[in-house]
């Protein structure tokens, strides 16, 4: 065999070998991409049990604060730090002096707070109560003498100072499961009575991601996980003209409900609004059911819809082609990050 023919054969063989190696590499890369996609954030939402809404990127649920109709009684106060400074922050060692009669021990967590002055109701003008601001969190280390503990500041949301009061820390999950309100109780409030009455920062103008407070809570039918439309207050219709539909200023998710008050976050604001804006409860299960019927979906159970409306909604959105045109309220819920509800 001539040398030139041998070189030509070797080149052809090298080309075939290079092509095969390239194909193998592509297959490996594709396999790696498939595995990566299998572990992508979209797959994280495939959790067992009901699906919740992850609000951790929207707000710090441990720093929400709350509205109180009466003054909050503190368990104790920041007494001093080891350097006699007035202002303290995360990582500082402090002393906490407790009121008599409270049972505390090392390891207990407490929230440092401040309270606003007495506020007026934005609609009625009557006494509303106090907005309680969360400033930070401390953990008790050891008892120095009766009712006096050495502690450490483990979380700081706002500047704290010696003399600030404390109450027991209450953990709140950032994973919020949609839940229906108590409709019988809530129907008694539909209208101007159910409204946003204050904001976390006492801002007059509120918008997207604002933490807001309502002066109604558990005894009025409001629950954590309720979803509300924020609407403008109606103007008095002296001319008896046809009443226009509610204009959606935004949408509100309830993060915490106390007996007489509740706290929520504005997950969507179509425009800014002020205290006194009204709330309309959204019947999420009913709206999802209507969407399923509209798009001819029959592979769902009534029990699944009642127990996991968000999961059913997300499956509808990702499973229908083309993507369904959902009402604004459902589109917002369907596109929010999911989590394993607790």
Q: What is the pLDDT of residues 42-95, one digit of tens each?
A: 333 445 578 999 999 999 999 999 999 999 999 999 988 777 788 999 999 999
50-59, 143-152, 220-229, 233-242: which range is least confident on average? 233-242
Measure the CA angle with vertex 182, ends 303 and 218; round to 5°: 125
| Domain limit, last residue, from 144, 168, 192 | 168
How many whole angstroms separate alpha carbon 113 and alpha carbon 136?
7
Please indicate, yes or no, whether residues 88 and 139 belong to a single structural domain of this protein: yes
| Residue whose C-alpha is closest to residue 195's, from 133, 138, 252 | 252
d(CA 94, CA 68): 27
**271 plus 237 within the same structural domain:** yes
Peptide bond into 239 cis (omega under 30): no
Say what the pLDDT of residue 33 is.
Answer: 25
Do 199 and 245 belong to one domain? yes
pLDDT of 342: 54
Choose the final residue of a domain: 235, 254, 282: 282
CB-based burial label for 111 (10 Å; 0-12, 13-18, 19+): buried
Tens-digit pLDDT profile for residues 99-125:
999 999 999 999 999 999 999 999 999
Alpha-carbon distances of 247 from 72, 186, 262, rounded to whole Å: 37, 21, 23
Give residue-wise pLDDT tens across range 290-326.
999 999 988 889 999 999 999 999 999 988 778 889 9
pLDDT bracket for residue 188 (50, 70, 90): confident
The confidence score (pLDDT) of residue 109 equals: 98
CATH number for the domain spanning 236: value is 2.40.33
Q: Are residue 209 and residue 265 in the same domain, yes or no?
A: yes
Same domain, 192 and 234: yes
Does 270 lie in the same domain as 194?
yes
Assess contact for 277 and 195: CB atoms under 8 A.
yes
Task: Quote the domain boundaries for residue 265.
Answer: 181-282
Shared-domain flag, residues 189 and 115: no
As given in the structure block, the two tokens for residue 57 are 């990127």
Identify whether 91 is part of a domain.
yes
| Range in 95-99, 126-130, 243-247 the model is least confident about | 243-247
The confidence band for 232, taking pLDDT boundaries of 50, 70 and 90, is: confident
Q: Are 142 and 213 members of one domain? A: no
Same domain assignment for residues 196 and 102 = no
Examine the domain organization and report whether 185 and 278 are in the same domain: yes
Nearest-5° Cα angle at 261, 259 to 265: 125
Q: What is the pLDDT of residue 24?
A: 36
Provide the mean pLDDT of the chain: 84
Q: How many domains in the chain? A: 2
Residue 35 scores a pLDDT above 50? no
């Amino acid at each position: 065999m001539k040398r030139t023919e041998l070189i030509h054969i070797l080149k052809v063989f090298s080309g075939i070998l290079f092509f095969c190696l390239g194909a193998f590499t592509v297959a490996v890369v594709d396999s790696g991409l498939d595995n990566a996609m299998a572990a992508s954030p979209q797959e994280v939402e495939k959790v067992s049990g009901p699906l919740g809404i992850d609000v951790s990127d929207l707000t710090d649920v441990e720093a929400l604060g709350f509205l109180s109709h009466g003054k909050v009684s503190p368990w104790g106060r920041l007494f001093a730090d080891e350097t006699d400074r007035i202002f303290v922050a995360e990582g500082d060692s402090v002393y906490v002096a407790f009121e008599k009669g409270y049972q505390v021990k090392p390891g207990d967590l407490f929230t440092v707070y401040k309270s606003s002055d007495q506020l007026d109701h934005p609609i009625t003008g009557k006494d509303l109560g106090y907005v309680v601001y969360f400033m930070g969190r401390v953990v008790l280390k050891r008892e120095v003498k009766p009712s006096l503990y050495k502690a450490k500041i483990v979380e700081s949301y706002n500047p704290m100072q010696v003399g600030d009061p404390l109450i027991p820390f209450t953990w709140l999950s950032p994973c919020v499961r949609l839940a229906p309100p108590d409709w019988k109780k809530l129907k008694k409030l539909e209208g101007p009575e159910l409204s946003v009455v204050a904001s976390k920062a006492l801002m007059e103008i509120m918008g997207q991601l604002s933490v807001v407070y309502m002066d109604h809570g558990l005894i009025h039918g409001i629950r954590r996980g309720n979803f509300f439309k924020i609407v403008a207050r109606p103007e008095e219709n002296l001319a008896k003209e046809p009443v226009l539909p509610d204009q959606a200023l935004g949408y509100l998710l309830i993060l915490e409900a106390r007996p007489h008050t509740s706290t929520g976050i504005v997950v969507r604001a179509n425009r800014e609004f002020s205290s006194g804006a009204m709330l309309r409860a959204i019947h999420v299960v009913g709206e999802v059911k209507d969407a399923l019927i509209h798009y001819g979906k029959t592979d769902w159970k009534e029990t699944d819809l009642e127990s996991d409306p968000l999961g059913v909604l997300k499956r509808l959105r990702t499973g229908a082609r083309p993507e369904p045109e959902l009402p604004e309220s459902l589109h917002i819920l369907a596109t929010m990050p999911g989590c394993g509800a607790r």
